[in-house]
Structure 1
Amino acid sequence: MPPRRSYDQYCSAARALDLVGDRWTLLIVRELLAGPRRYTDLHADLPGVSTDVLASRLKDMERDGLTTRRRLPPPGAATVYELTPRGSALLPVLQALGAWGEPELAARRPTDAVRAHWFALPLLRALAPFSTPGLLQVHLDEGVFHLRTDPEPATPAYGDGPSPTAPDAHLTLDTGTCEAIAQGRLSLPDAVRAGRVTVAGEGPVAKALREV
């Protein structure tokens, strides 16, 4: 493989950007934080990326120790990409970047793609003050996704579709409410109190949300 490009600056921020500063790299991380993904799944959930660029970024990320590949056993029999512990450690980086970018969301543009699980990061930020561990299943107009408020290093922080095990709480809200939370215009507690978020379940996180 060709050598990795570098800013050649003795600075930790520059070294970090050597690894993740290329276009699409952090968005690939965003997708892989949801767990192992096939190449076709990644391409489908990264609208706008070319197949050549996606393949190149995945090779770079594997070379740099951010991702790895493995072959699923039958009947799956597919190759999946997944984050290494080093790659998974980028979750708080994406959280901080998402918080910084909240003012840039504004109204959705006609050309903007959207996937339900992209709202997992802002909802994780909104849930952080509760400090209550749990698995939540979120129901949106665009679809269903799940997230963990206390992901372990080897556990995906969120994922597309229903939760793999019984969730501690179900959250149901419309896309407008979720957008307002993602943009920082509405807090999750205020949304629950206003009836814009319906909370179901008997787990600790569900009880904490109902008691706000």
Structure 2
Amino acid sequence: MADIVIFGTGQIAEVALAHIRAFSPDRVVGFTVDRAYMESPDFHGLPVVPWDALETRFPPDRVKLLGPLSYQKLNELRRDRHREGQARGYEFASFIHPSVHNMAEVVGENCFILENTILQPYSRIGDGCIIWTASHIGHHTTIGDHCFISSQVGIASGCNIGPRCLIGGQVGIDNNVTLGEEVYLESRSMIRRDLPAHSVVRHPQDLPQTYSSSRLKNMVFK
């Protein structure tokens, strides 16, 4: 059993708190946010500590961290805070719902994987990945670090999903497809071909747009 501090005080942090309380032996003892976004000293009756002063209340030898549970800046925020936490001596927890069919070869740290997801044999899940409800990760598929996969996503076998990809709900990805880093797939897209880094695919065309995901990162996912 570990004491956990969740990064964030938004809706997904609330979802994480509810799941950990209901399904995990771990215990949430507090929250942390960047000082500029701190609106209250408590959240759901637990203390909120500024990220830059976290050690004053929750030193690394007492707690593990989880999050940020957000796709801000196309998952760059989660990657950056993960790296900063590691540099400050913190370990990271993961939450895997007990209903997950987990035959993955490896699941990294700082992951949040929700109910009825299937991780088939020889799949590999990187650090900092969020996989929402009822998704399917096929055998021999690799999910890169800090990806966000929404609900009811089907990723077939032998795929290679690059780091920091954002995959919308009910997306389908065919066998042996490779996605470069920071690819954005809109909900209900169907991907049948490899996509280079920073591609944007919007349903129903299922073809890459002429602009890169960096444009979305600066406009939509701040």
TM-score, normalised on structure 2? 0.27
If you compute each CA radius of gyration, which structure gives the higher value, 1 or 2?
Answer: 1
Return the structure number with greater strand share. 2
Return the structure number with greater helix share. 1
